Structures are given as C-alpha cells and as structure tokens.
Structure 1
C-alpha cells in the first residue's frame, strides 16, 4: 500500500472511530504526522486528496477541518465526473437512473409530507410550456430533485442528484425539444406527481420507469 493511501486510511479511521467528528479541526501537521507515524509529506498529500472529495476543508491560515460529511457534499465529485462523460456513457447513466428514480418515486409516495408535495406542485405549475431550453432543464432538475428529497433518504437523494447534472440534462433537453416532446414530458411529470400525492407507490414507480425509459430510448436512437 502506498504511503499516501495509508495516511488516507488512518485519517478515515480517526473519523470512523469518533476521534474526529464533523466540524472538528485536525491537529497541527507535525503533531498528526508523529501520532500516525507518517511523514509530513505523505500526510500533506493525503489531506489534499481528502479535500478534493470534500471530506476535509483546508482553510488557509486557520487549519484543516472535517467537513459536515453530508451525503450531498461528499457526492459532488460524481457530478463532475458525469459531466465529463460522452453521449454513450450517458446511456449507462440513464440505465442507473432507471433503477434508482422509480425507487425514489415509490419512497416519496410513502413518505412525502404536505411541504414536499407543495414543492412538487409549485415546480410543475410554474413551468411555461413555451419556455427556453435552460428553463426546462431547471424545471426538470427541480422536479426530480424534489422527488428524491421527499424520500427522506439523504444518500439516495444525493446519489440521484449527482447523476442528474445540468450538463447532461441540458444536452438531452435540447434533443427532446427538437423532437417536440416537451408537452409529453410535462404531462408525465403531472402523472408522477398525482401518483405520489395519492400515496400510490407502485403507480409512481411504474410511471417513473416509463418517464426515464422514454428519454433513454430517444437518446439511444439519436446515437
């Protein structure tokens, strides 16, 4: 095992054991390197790597802190990776969404409260059918994020959000609008919302499968 990898694992162990909690400041570099029996250079590289994936927050002139470790924060790196993928990779991403989003709709139908439902209603009611592509992308992101948040499962919501980057949705919406399918997509959003509001988990899941699969099928044919 590389020395830097060992340093990363040792810091991870400190967090898992509770020795370091979210928001805690790490001991000074010299003290921590001596405690872990590692060189300061390897520790420094480990801190850089953990900063990239948002486990640590390096504040210049102040110190290094453990972040909040919230799921959405930790999965930000995945959104960046998704944006870099080409169209064929997006098909694989859609295959994953086809698994996760129906499950999210089902959970939302079971757990959504009035506040979550109202947020979804406002999202659906607020979109202009003649809006430009960017507005439609914003609506689509807001609607699916609202469903994911209504599940009550932070990790699932963050994972879905990380797979639903603005770049990917914008690329797909451009094609969909050219195919004059905006109206159909918005109707599907209405139907999914109605099923969630009715507490019908199976119907919400089934409608979401159709919704995601429709875009996936269009993209597959376009490629």
Structure 2
C-alpha cells in the first residue's frame, strides 16, 4: 500500500469509526500526518485524492472538512468513468440504467408526493408543447425528458439509486438526440411512454410503473446499435 493509500484508508477509518462526520474539520496537517505515520507531502496527496472523490473539501485558509457525504456527490465521478468507456460500451450502461430506473419507478409509485406528481405533469405538458412546434426543439425535449426521469428517480426515496441514475442517464443524452433527429416517431413514443408511467404513478400502481418504465427504456436501449459514433452531442 502506498503512502497516499494509507492516508485515504486512515481518513476512511476515521469516518466509518465515527471519529469524523459530515461537516467536521480534519485535524491540522502536522497532527494528522503524525497520527497516520506519513509525511506531510503524502498527506496532501491523500487529501487531494479524497477531495476528487467528494469525501473532503479543502477551504483556503480555513482547513479541510468532511463533505456532506451525499451519495450524489460521492458518485459524481462515475460520470467520468462512463465517459471514459466511450461509445462502444454504451449499451451495458443503458442496461444498468434500465434496471435502476425500473425499480425507482416502482418505489416512487408508493412514495411520490402530490407536489412531485404535479411537477412531473408540468414537465410532460412542456414536452408535449415542444413536440407540437415545428421545427421541434430536440434539445428542449431532451431536457424535459431528463427532468421527468430525475423526478421519478428522486421520488423512489433511495438516494443511492438516484445518484447512480443521475450519473448514468447523462450519458444517454447524445443517443436520445440522435433518435429524435433520425428515427421518425421516436420522441412521440417517448412522450406516450412517459404519460403511461405518470398514470401508473398517479394510480399508485407499482407494478404498472415498473412495467411501463422498463418497456420505455428497453425501446431506447434497442436503438443504441443504430447510433453512429459521430452522432452530435446533446449540448451542441
């Protein structure tokens, strides 16, 4: 184990052992280095690594603190991992997304608040207006699409699932844009699928919500082999 790894492991043990919690300030550099048995240079390297991972937050002139340890923050680096795999391995990530969002939809059917249900309705109405315009604003439709999925995942009540969905779903935007531009009726099908999911959520029918979400994402997933490597990015 390298000295940097020793720092990472030492801080991890301090957190999991309850000595440090979210928002707590780490001991001063000299004291912490002595406690972990590493040089101050190695300590800094370890702190930098933990900062990248979202575990620590270094504030200039104030010290280093444990973050909120929110799953969304800790898993944000997963988006980088997804991007590194490039276009050739997109389908496995989509399959994971389908599994996660299918379960999230089922959970949300029993937990979704009236406010969130109304918010989802507003997003769907916005998407419908976008489709009715000519020419269709495809990036705007994708934005509404993403927001609908975010609401459903969030209402599932499992922050880990929500964080994973957030990390993986962003990777699908390029494919969804390509579908909207080149596959006739794709966005209309997406809208119908979202409406069906919404109705299941409104009825509190968990099984229907799972089935509708799974069918929707499987339709998206099956389009992936058709998307060329030079397809435009949704942000363009």
User: Alpha-carbon deviation of 1:53?
Assistant: 0.7
CA distance in 2 between partners of 1:174 and 1:151 (Å):
26
Contact 1:108 1:148 in 2 (8 A): yes
Distance 1:152 1:91 in 2: 26
Q: 1-side partners of 2:220 and 2:88: how far apart?
A: 14
Alpha-carbon contact 1:98-1:212 (below 8 Å) kept: yes
Q: CA RMSD in A?
A: 1.3
Q: State the number of aligned residues.
A: 221
Q: Which runs of 5+ in 2 are unaligned?
A: 229-236
Listed as ranges, the matches of 1:127-166 within 5 Å are 127=127, 128-129=130-131, 130=133, 131-165=136-170
Which stretches of structure 1, 4 residues or more, deviate above 6 A after TM superposition? Answer: none
**1:191 has 2:196 as partner:** yes
- Residue correspondence of structure 1 range 63-102 to structure 2 within 5 A: 63-102=63-102
Judge which range, 31-40 or 190-199, deviates more: 31-40
Aligned to 1:39: 39
Residue 176 of structure 2 is matched in structure 1 by 173
For residues 16-73 of structure 1, the C-alpha deviation after alignment (integer angstroms, 9 at most, x for no partner) is 1121111111111111111222221221111010000110001122211111111111
TM-score (norm 2): 0.89
Deviation at 1:222, TM superposition (A): 3.8
Instruction: Check whether the contact 2:175–2:227 (CA below 8 A) recurs between aligned residues.
Output: no
Distance 1:156 1:141 in 2: 15
**Correspondence for 2:106:** 106
Q: Is the 8 A contact 1:79 1:164 kept in 2?
A: no
